[in-house]
A and B are shown apart, each in its own frame.
Chain A
Amino acid sequence: MQCIARGAAFALLMASASVSAAADYPQPLAEEPVPSVAELPADYPDSWVLVHDLHFNSLPDGRAAVVDVAAENHHVRGQIPVAQFGNILPSTTRGEIYVGETFLSRLTRGERTDVITIWDTKTLAPKGEIILPGAKRGLFVTLRNSLQLTNDEKWALVFNFTPGSSVTVVDLDGRKILSDIELPGCSLVYPTGPRGFTSLCADGTMTSITLDAAGKAGETVTSSAFNNIDDDPLFMTPAMVGKTAWFASFKGGIRGIDFSGTAARDLGAFQIPTQPGGEPESRPGGWQVISSDRAGRLYVLMNPKGGEGSHKDGGTEAWVIDPATRTVVRRIALKNHSVSIEATQQAAPLLVASRPDGSLDVYDAASGAFVRTIVDVAHDPMTMTASR
């Protein structure tokens, strides 16, 4: 009985409240049209980053998030499917995003189809696809250099692994396959010169292949061995400053490779100067461990507990390195253990660190000051690609 009385009093209170609230707002909210779907700018601002979610717990359902790391809110602006150990690669000139991916007709069985799916940057809708023949697209934890562009972004280069290595050259305008180039003993693609690519090889060398106007392999140049794979191998994903790639090595070396000419040129290496605090020593660690800003500074994700087998453990600091003076300019203590890092190409760059729990921590790259956390962006944020 007491309960009913209390309920009646509450209802009365609510009714009078809604009368006074309606008086405050004489007009109701406008009706909203359906359907209504958001769009993005065709050219993404410099503060946007593609965060690739490998989705290890459901690999056929990988995806990427389009994230504005500089915004106060609305950080995740949209998503793009990237199925089954896929790769995502934004064009800088064509208003398109390319996804290399693999489908089976019955999700986990049936006929395999490898494709490059072409996504429109503005609508995030698929606008075409190019079938990759041979069911041989390399399937492994995503690396940016398994799908790259060359020939003024008119051609795509797809790395295949069966476990034989090869590269498929794809004409994006004609949406057709131009050639398949065997690459025994070499891995991944690093665009080289106006029309060609380089691959890193298991004997420590690199091989540069020039492509002719039809996309067929032309001149081939193999370097002397420089990659000490046994003792101190290079991580496969470099930071790009123009056409110069900066690779980090397991034990803290930095090596420059110039990819501007028709054959890649080794610029030599230096050791990141030792800093206090390593137990036993600080080493690069994580998945995408090195990035660069527009001024050419390098950011390396460092693990103070470095040792054999620590190279994928992630890191707790980002060291800012000036490759011209070969010095550590700054050490940024990260708030959280991080998997990968990427610097934006803004005039005042931000440094994004992805966490094992799928959230992103954002720092002011110049000061190292923490800016914000963007939670739950991905399941497994392995690679990140800043807008350029």
Chain B
Amino acid sequence: MSRLDKFSETVTRQVARATSRRSLLTLIGGAITGAATLPVLPVARAQTHGGGHGGGSGDHIAPQTTGNPQDPGDQTQCDYWRYCAIDGFLCSCCGGTASTCPPGTEMSPITWIGTCQNPADNRAYIISYNDCCGKSSCGRCLCNRNERDRPMVRPQANNDINWCLGTSSAIYNCSTAVILGVALEQK
């Protein structure tokens, strides 16, 4: 990782924490999205194709768990706890994981931020939805959840944007959900 990348990542994490703190204070008055219990009815094709359920045939993508009881759930499913504000193809279904881009793609350095509650340890985590870029649409496990998503007028809280910005290619492949840290409580 170059020094520039490190700088970029540090800034991103700091901005994320600051943004999230402001979010907790001013955007939602301290309310944090609960674990994924809401039905998922994405706006586009995921609605008819069963969200992250891998198609309408009744067949499912084989489950992928972390094996860590503190990080519970199936990363190929839209109801995995970190995906509370994701919009796109789940990289877990495309050669990556919830926090890793598929081989040969490039992770976007800037992105949108959500705060999701981990049902195992009951902590609120700041999640960064970095897009993976440089190959065309993955096409698997389309997932769209919009808790606390806000319109384009507030880009940092909007999941409709192609965040393949600052990457060598602007082409969108899939989305990750990276833990940036624990959201700090407001005093």
Q: Which of A139, A162, A236, A312 contacts B43 (CB 8 A)?
A: A312
Q: How far is the CA of A339 from the CA of B144 in the complex (A)?
A: 13
Complex interface bits, A234-245 against B, C-beta within 8 A gives 1, otherwise 0: 111000000000
List the interface of chain B (C-beta within 8 A of A).
26-28, 38, 41-48, 110, 134-137, 139, 142, 144-155, 158, 160-162, 164-165, 168-172
The answer to whether A356 and B165 touch across the interface, beta carbons within 8 angstroms, is: no
User: A59-B136, A108-B171 known; A201 and B153 CB under 8 Å?
Assistant: yes
- Quote the shortest CB–CB distance from A4 to chain B (angstroms): 43
- Quote the shortest CB–CB distance from A82 to chain B (angstroms): 15
Q: How far is the CA of A108 from the CA of B47 in the complex (A)?
A: 27
- Quote the shortest CB–CB distance from B53 to chain A (angstroms): 14
Complex interface bits, A103-129 against B, C-beta within 8 A gives 1, otherwise 0: 010011100100000000000000000
- Quote the shortest CB–CB distance from A16 to chain B (angstroms): 47
- Quote the shortest CB–CB distance from B22 to chain A (angstroms): 11
- Quote the shortest CB–CB distance from A342 to chain B (angstroms): 15
Q: How far is the CA of A236 from the CA of B150 in the complex (A)?
A: 10
Q: Which of B41, B110, B150 contacts A229 (CB 8 A)?
A: B150
Residues of B with C-beta under 8 A to A235: 151
Residues of B with C-beta under 8 A to A311: 146, 149
Is A90 on the interface with B (CB-CB < 8 A)?
A: no
Can you report 21 residue pairs joining A to B where beta carbons are below 8 Å apart?
A56-B137, A56-B142, A57-B139, A107-B171, A135-B170, A139-B161, A139-B162, A139-B170, A140-B152, A161-B165, A186-B153, A187-B153, A227-B153, A229-B151, A308-B148, A309-B146, A309-B149, A356-B44, A358-B45, A379-B45, A382-B44
Q: How far is the CA of A203 from the CA of B29 in the complex (A)?
A: 17
Q: Which residue of A lies closest to B105 (CB)?
A: A108
The answer to whether B171 and A200 touch across the interface, beta carbons within 8 angstroms, is: no
Q: Which of B38, B158, B164, B169 contacts A309 (CB 8 A)?
A: B38
The answer to whether B170 and A357 touch across the interface, beta carbons within 8 angstroms, is: no
The answer to whether B28 and A102 touch across the interface, beta carbons within 8 angstroms, is: no
Residues of B with C-beta under 8 A to A139: 161-162, 164, 170
The answer to whether A337 and B47 touch across the interface, beta carbons within 8 angstroms, is: yes
User: A139-B170, A314-B41 known; A356 and B48 CB under 8 Å?
Assistant: yes
Residues of A with C-beta under 8 A to B161: 138-140, 161, 163
List the interface of chain A (C-beta within 8 A of B).
54, 56-60, 84-85, 102, 104, 107-109, 112, 135, 138-141, 143, 161-163, 165, 186-188, 200-202, 227, 229-230, 233-236, 286-287, 307-314, 337, 339, 356-358, 379-380, 382
Q: Which of B42, B46, B139, B165 contacts A163 (CB 8 A)?
A: B165
Q: Which residue of B lies closest to A308 (CB)?
A: B147
The answer to whether A59 and B172 touch across the interface, beta carbons within 8 angstroms, is: yes
Q: Which residue of B lies closest to A188 (CB)?
A: B152
Q: Which residue of B lies closest to A358 (CB)?
A: B45
The answer to whether B160 and A141 touch across the interface, beta carbons within 8 angstroms, is: yes
The answer to whether B165 and A162 touch across the interface, beta carbons within 8 angstroms, is: yes
The answer to whether B153 and A233 touch across the interface, beta carbons within 8 angstroms, is: yes
- Quote the shortest CB–CB distance from B85 to chain A (angstroms): 8
The answer to whether A58 and B136 touch across the interface, beta carbons within 8 angstroms, is: yes
Residues of B with C-beta under 8 A to A162: 165
- Tell me whether chain A's interface is mostly helix, strand or loop, or mixed: loop
The answer to whether A380 and B27 touch across the interface, beta carbons within 8 angstroms, is: no
Q: Which residue of A lies closest to B40 (CB)?
A: A313
Residues of B with C-beta under 8 A to A163: 110, 155, 161, 165
Q: Which of B38, B144, B150, B162 contacts A85 (CB 8 A)?
A: B162
Residues of A with C-beta under 8 A to B45: 56-57, 356-358, 379-380
Residues of A with C-beta under 8 A to B168: 109
Q: How far is the CA of A109 from the CA of B164 in the complex (A)?
A: 12
Determine which residue in A104, A161, A312 has the highest number of CB atoms from chain B within 10 A of its CB, and name it: A312
The answer to whether B162 and A230 touch across the interface, beta carbons within 8 angstroms, is: no
Q: Which residue of A lies closest to B46 (CB)?
A: A356
Q: How far is the CA of A23 from the CA of B83 in the complex (A)?
A: 70
Q: Which residue of B lies closest to A135 (CB)?
A: B170
Q: How far is the CA of A56 from the CA of B88 in the complex (A)?
A: 9
Residues of A with C-beta under 8 A to B145: 309
The answer to whether A109 and B134 touch across the interface, beta carbons within 8 angstroms, is: yes
Q: How far is the CA of A231 from the CA of B76 in the complex (A)?
A: 31
- Quote the shortest CB–CB distance from A8 to chain B (angstroms): 45
Q: How far is the CA of A39 from the CA of B152 in the complex (A)?
A: 37
- Quote the shortest CB–CB distance from A208 to chain B (angstroms): 15
Q: How far is the CA of A163 from the CA of B110 in the complex (A)?
A: 9
Residues of A with C-beta under 8 A to B150: 229, 233
Determine which residue in B42, B145, B164 has the highest number of CB atoms from chain A within 10 A of its CB, and name it: B42
Q: How far is the CA of A227 from the CA of B38 in the complex (A)?
A: 27
User: A102-B170, A187-B153, A312-B42 known; A108 and B110 CB under 8 Å?
Assistant: no
- Quote the shortest CB–CB distance from B116 to chain A (angstroms): 12
Q: Which residue of B lies closest to A337 (CB)?
A: B47
